[in-house]
Amino acid sequence: MEDNKKIELHITLTQANYINSLFDRPMFAIDLNKKTFRPVNDVRFYDWVQNLAQGEKE
């Protein structure tokens, strides 16, 4: 059975920029005019968050 628990992730624009620097392709599209960001690819972002959550369990 798939785990459908909600995961909250709070990060700043500075942190989003740093996270982007860790990957070959950006994880977040950042709009500096609106001071917002969103995942570039929802599936890739979901996989990344799941890996973070799995790492916390171990």
State pLDDT tens for residues 23-46: 999 999 999 899 889 999 999 998
Give the chain's radius of gyration (CA, Å).
13
The answer to whether the pTM exceeds 0.75 is no
Neighbour-count burial for 36-55, b at 16+ CB within 10 Å, e otherwise? ebebeeeeeeeebeeeeeee
Query: By percentage, how much of the chain surpasses pLDDT 70?
Result: 84
Residue 41: which H helix or E strand, with range? none
